[in-house]
Amino acid sequence: MVFDLFDNAQRYESLHPRFRAAFAFLRRADLAALPDGRHEIDDDRAFAILGGGSQVGRNNAKLEAHRKYIDIRFMVDGDEIVGWQSLDRCTDIAAPYDPKTDLVFFRNRPDIWLPLPPRRFAIFFPTDAHAPLAGEGEIRRVVVVKVAV
C-alpha cells in the first residue's frame, strides 16, 4: 500500500508502467467536471471510475481485494476513510473471489483506518485488502483508477 499527498505522485510513477498515465488522468484540470462512470485511460489496462455517494461507516465497511487490478483511490471533493489489512491476514472470506468483478470480500477487520481527504491518494495492490467508504456522510467526488496488474 502507498498513502501520500498527490503532490508526491510522481515519485510512484516508476512502480508500474501504467502509473504515469493513471496519475496524468488524475491531474486533468477538468477532473471535477467529468461525468460519473467509467473513463478510459488505456482500454482495460487502465481506466477510471468516477462517482460519489454515501459512506457506510467503519462498522459496515467490508474488506475487499482484487487480483487483476491495482486500485488508486483519489479524493476530489469530500473526505473518505479507508480501512487497510494485509491480504495474508484475511482468513475469513465473506464472499469468494468473483473473476467477473475481480472482487473477494472478507469478514476480517482492518488494522489501520486512513483518512483520505482531497489531494491525497492511496494505492492498493493485490496484496492489500481495503475497506472503502468507511467514513460518515456523503462523498461528492472520488476517483478509483484501476490499473491491470
Domain ranges of the chain: 2-148
Q: C-alpha 59: how far from its chain's center? A: 19
- CATH domain 2-148 topology: Jelly Rolls (2.60.120)
CA distance linking residue 3 with residue 113, whole number of Å: 11
Instruction: Express each pLDDT in 28-69 by its tens digit.
Output: 999 999 999 999 999 999 999 999 889 999 999 999 999 999
Is residue 110 within 8 A of residue 47, CB to CB? The reply is no
Q: Does pTM surpass 0.75?
A: yes
Task: Extract the C-alpha cell encoding 59.
Answer: 462498522
Residues 59-88 have pLDDT tens digits of: 999 999 999 999 999 999 889 999 999 999
CA distance linking residue 45 with residue 93, whole number of Å: 27
